Amino acid sequence: MASHSSNPPEARKHLHVRLTEETTSIYDLVTEYLQMAGKAPDWYWRTVGRLEGQDEENMEELLSSAFEAGAFLAHDHPESVQFKWVTERECEAERKAHERPEAAAEVQKRERAAMSHYA
């Protein structure tokens, strides 16, 4: 007999990791990590640019480096990283807001106007 999970699928959450400031570049932070780790940033970025999942050895190195870079950022730049657990619904809303920033700004404007009614 199949057991039912206490959390319906729409309530399950997954992790989003975002930079806290829009002026911060993930590429710069990963490059900083690669340099500090004694790895060649030029090789890494060239390989990322041309790799399409065909070279397993390079893919493993890239994934390993990306994982290590994530740990480096969380340790050496905790102020630059934001961790947020989101549901699929929240994820989709975030994706739409990112794709159409003017729509998100309009929603925020409406929310502020609605809140001003209670002020």
pLDDT tens readout for residues 47-105: 887 766 566 677 777 777 888 888 888 888 888 888 888 888 888 888 888 787 665 56
Q: At 56, list the tokens.
A: 């397993």
| pLDDT reported for residue 117 | 41
| pLDDT reported for residue 118 | 42
**Please, where are the H alpha helices in 37-78?**
41-50, 56-76
Q: Is the overall model pTM greater than 0.85, yes or no?
A: no
Cα distance between residue 10 and residue 89, in whole Å: 7
First to last CA, the chain: 54
- Among 21-25, 34-38, 111-115, the range scoring the smallest mean pLDDT is 111-115
